[in-house]
């Protein structure tokens, strides 16, 4: 465990330090939030490249840690140490001030983060836990996803899965973005328990996501209340499902407190009632683990876009009120010293002192002619380029929205001022380049990093691309009216969003620049509502959710403006609207945090059987077992002939042939022995899951045929047979 912790700290510290090269204005806590997600992504990609050559060995772990920690060499310079010490001291001072004077704005922020930290602890502690009874999850939507992710993690730790094959369909390339699971595998290989690796990775990424949402909303809205409301709107997402809680509590007579103590179902996912927009935490971030890393990386990119396109190295800040400026107005000498240190550090970096920095810093410090905006766009490209193997949907969203924003935010006026090319103002192409150069830098860096990953992931794949695309109107609305479907699933979110966009008073709520920045994200709502982007149309939510995140600051801004009108009636309205929007998601989150859900994924016998398989079989063994979501083989890292068909189908793989062969083998068909030999199956599992699955197929499990093979071992009702000498 200490080695795993050291790897995590080195990766986070190195990535945090790199933020000083491209973002001079961020506060330390914002830098740390960026460092958590970028550090883990870099550790995962660097570790995977090295492990593909060396295996997941101690040498690989040390080399990966050294690589992602190389920016720490910058601390050998006195000016870098002074800047970091000043920022850390300032961050600590702000926290102390918030504790001593809780009535000020910083006190509300500290309380918000303390509450978030407690909530995440309770929720992620229930995502996966193990005791003498087996392995459990306290999240209904994680029942099927948890074994799949455990299968990926264990395939790297115990199965020597390089190059990676699909954990539930042996012999084909793993195209599912796996970096977040590979990072967990690194921690397990470094000494952490599987439960501990998942918990701590989830926990720090969730805190990072919250901090990045807060900072991004503060930049966009310049409104402290709206910035605090934005993470709540995102993490407690939901619809009008809470009305059914009211009915159960009052009409059905269960009572509010009695019902809160034993919530029996979710309130954002109720398919029989048309509720499909699940809560972000319980439906997306816990089961769909790639999003927990992909969204924070996307937020880093969005924030850099907003900053870079708002100025051309003019030293002005658009977005969050600068704490430096506020304290300067108060005349605090200590802050003046911090500001002076910051200026000295910025001058040092711009003057090319980075020649002594590690190679990761070179793109930002090779010339003092590189503007702050250009540094930000290069950094944004580097972060976006990490995404294809982290979360492919996030990468596509960034590329599409970035392409639209590049047309809306090209610096044409700056290009004319620079008068490039001919005396008449330059040729058309020269002016085009001058206006678009920031975005050209972003796309160039992003594609240099991303294209090799995409080529690697798609080469020789068995995924049928045609299964992913097709016209399908209304997302997953079923038989419900599309307009009513979206209102009941998103509560007052869409009306408040429209109100924010149309708000007119002494000044528009959404200014022209913010409106233009927001517009491309509407595609994340429109396109998935008319076109299927995955074999399972519900998976379109992975794109639609980015529309929700982009819209949340505008909705929060509308609520904050209502609150600031001052009168009791307006404040009551704002509070009621916020409650209406977050109650459904809040009930689902409370259901998990309170421990109301306990779903057994593996019983104690299944865990013991998995240990037997790891002990008695080679890492790359091919095993035939029940095609179900929670077979113990997924805990071993061994290759599966066929796993859960629902997972395999949703990844675009045609499993029908193997399913037919599996049935013939377990039923003892005349060609069963030939099929085992032909497919290279080395071991066969016979147990209660196999018995149950064959009954679903309306076939009998032929035990006499399977018992002709050598029994390797057994645990409870589970038995493992070896089919080869």
> Which tokens belong to 702?
């032929």
Asked whether 281 and 287 are in contact (CB, 8 A), the reply is no
pLDDT score of 700: 94
The SS3 call for residue 29 is helix
User: What is the spatial distance between Cα 74 and Cα 116, in angstroms, rounded to a whole number?
Assistant: 33
> Which tokens belong to 373?
């905006």
User: What is the spatial distance between Cα 613 and Cα 151, in angstroms, rounded to a whole number?
Assistant: 14
Helix then strand then coil, % of the chain, to nearest 5: 65, 5, 30
242, 266, 119, 228: which is closest to 581 by C-alpha?
242
Host H or E run for residue 446: helix 428-458
User: What is the spatial distance between Cα 700 and Cα 441, in angstroms, rounded to a whole number?
Assistant: 62
Counting as low any pLDDT under 50, the low residues of the chain are: 312-367, 419-425
* Side-chain-side CA neighbours of residue 288 (13 Å): 22
Host H or E run for residue 157: helix 145-157
Q: Cα–Cα–Cα angle for 61, 62, 68, nearest 5°?
A: 90
pLDDT score of 471: 85
The string of pLDDT tens digits covering residues 401-411 is 999 999 988 76
Asked whether 300 and 34 are in contact (CB, 8 A), the reply is yes
pLDDT score of 106: 81
End-to-end CA gap in the chain: 39
Complete edge-to-edge strand list for the sheet that includes strand 683-686: 639-640, 622-624, 683-686, 718-722, 710-715
DSSP letter (8 states) at residue 164: P
Residues in the chain, total: 725
Q: Tell if the pTM clears 0.75, that is, is over it.
A: yes
User: What is the spatial distance between Cα 535 and Cα 651, in angstroms, rounded to a whole number?
Assistant: 7
The string of pLDDT tens digits covering residues 30-44 is 999 999 999 999 999
> Which tokens belong to 523?
């595609």
Packing angle, helices 392-408 and 428-458, rounded to 10 = 180
């Amino acid at each position: 465990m200490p080695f795993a912790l050291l790897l995590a700290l080195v990766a986070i510290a190195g990535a945090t330090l790199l933020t000083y090269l491209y973002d001079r204005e961020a506060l330390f806590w914002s830098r740390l939030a960026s460092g958590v997600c970028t550090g883990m992504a870099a550790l995962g990609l660097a570790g995977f490249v090295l492990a593909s050559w060396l295996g997941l060995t101690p040498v690989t772990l040390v080399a990966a840690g050294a690589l992602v920690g190389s920016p720490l060499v910058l601390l050998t310079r006195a000016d870098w140490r002074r800047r970091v010490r000043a920022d850390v001291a300032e961050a600590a001072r702000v926290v102390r001030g918030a504790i001593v004077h809780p009535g000020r704005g910083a006190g509300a922020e500290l309380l918000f983060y303390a509450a978030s930290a407690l909530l995440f602890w309770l929720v992620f502690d229930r995502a996966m836990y193990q005791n003498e009874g087996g392995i459990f999850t306290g999240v209904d939507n994680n029942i099927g996803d948890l074994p799949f992710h455990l299968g990926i993690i264990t395939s790297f730790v115990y199965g020597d899965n390089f190059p990676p094959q699909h954990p539930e369909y042996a012999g084909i390339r793993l195209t599912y973005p796996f970096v977040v699971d590979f990072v967990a595998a690194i921690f397990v290989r470094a000494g952490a328990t599987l439960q501990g690796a998942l918990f701590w990775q989830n926990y720090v990424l969730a805190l990072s996501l919250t901090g990045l949402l807060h900072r991004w909303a503060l930049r966009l809205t310049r409104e402290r209340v709206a910035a605090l409301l934005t993470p709540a709107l995102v993490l407690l997402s939901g619809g009008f499902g809470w009305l059914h809680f009211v009915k159960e509590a009052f009409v059905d007579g269960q009572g509010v407190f009695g019902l809160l103590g034993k919530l029996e179902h979710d309130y954002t996912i109720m398919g029989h009632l048309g509720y499909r927009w699940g809560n972000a935490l319980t439906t997306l971030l816990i089961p769909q683990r790639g999003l927990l890393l992909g969204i924070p990386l996307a937020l880093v990119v969005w924030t850099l876009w907003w900053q870079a396109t708002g100025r051309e190295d003019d030293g002005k800040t658009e977005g969050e009120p600068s704490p430096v400026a506020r304290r300067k107005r108060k005349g605090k000498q200590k802050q003046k010293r911090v500001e002076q240190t910051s200026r000295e550090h910025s001058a040092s970096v711009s003057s090319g002192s980075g020649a002594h920095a590690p190679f990761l810093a070179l793109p930002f410090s090779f010339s003092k002619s590189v503007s702050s905006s250009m540094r930000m766009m290069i950094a944004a490209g580097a972060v976006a380029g990490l995404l294809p193997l982290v979360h492919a949907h996030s990468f596509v969203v960034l590329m599409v929205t970035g392409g639209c924003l590049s047309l809306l935010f090209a610096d044409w006026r700056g290009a004319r001022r620079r008068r490039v090319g001919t005396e008449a103002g330059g040729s058309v192409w020269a002016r085009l380049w001058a206006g678009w150069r920031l975005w050209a830098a972003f796309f160039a860096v992003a594609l240099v990093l991303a294209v090799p990953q995409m080529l690697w992931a798609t080469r020789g794949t068995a995924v049928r691309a045609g299964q992913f695309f097709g016209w399908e109107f209304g997302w997953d609305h079923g038989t419900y009216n599309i307009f009513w479907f979206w209102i009941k699933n998103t509560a007052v979110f869409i009306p408040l969003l429209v109100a924010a966009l149309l708000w007119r008073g002494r000044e528009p709520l959404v200014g022209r620049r913010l409106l233009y920045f927001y517009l491309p994200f509407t595609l994340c709502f429109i396109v998935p509502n008319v076109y299927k982007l995955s074999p399972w149309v519900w998976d379109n939510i992975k794109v639609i959710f980015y529309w929700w995140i982009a819209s949340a600051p505008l909705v929060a801004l509308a609520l904050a403006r209502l609150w600031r009108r001052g009168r009791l009636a307006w404040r009551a309205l704002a509070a009621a609207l916020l409650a209406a929007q977050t109650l459904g998601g809040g009930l689902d989150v409370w259901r998990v945090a309170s421990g109301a859900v306990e779903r057994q994924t593996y019983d104690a016998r299944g865990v013991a059987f998995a240990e037997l398989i790891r002990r008695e079989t080679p890492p790359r063994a091919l095993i035939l077992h029940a095609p179900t979501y929670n077979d113990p083989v997924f805990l071993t890292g061994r290759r599966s002939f066929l796993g859960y068909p629902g997972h395999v189908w949703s990844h675009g793989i045609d499993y029908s042939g193997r399913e037919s062969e599996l049935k013939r083998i377990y039923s003892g068909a005349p060609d069963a022995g030939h099929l085992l030999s032909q497919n290279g199956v080395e071991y066969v599992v016979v147990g209660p899951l196999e018995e149950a699955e064959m009954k679903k197929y309306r076939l009998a499990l032929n035990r006499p045929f399977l018992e002709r093979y050598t029994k390797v071992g057994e645990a409870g009702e589970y038995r493992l047979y070896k089919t080869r000498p």
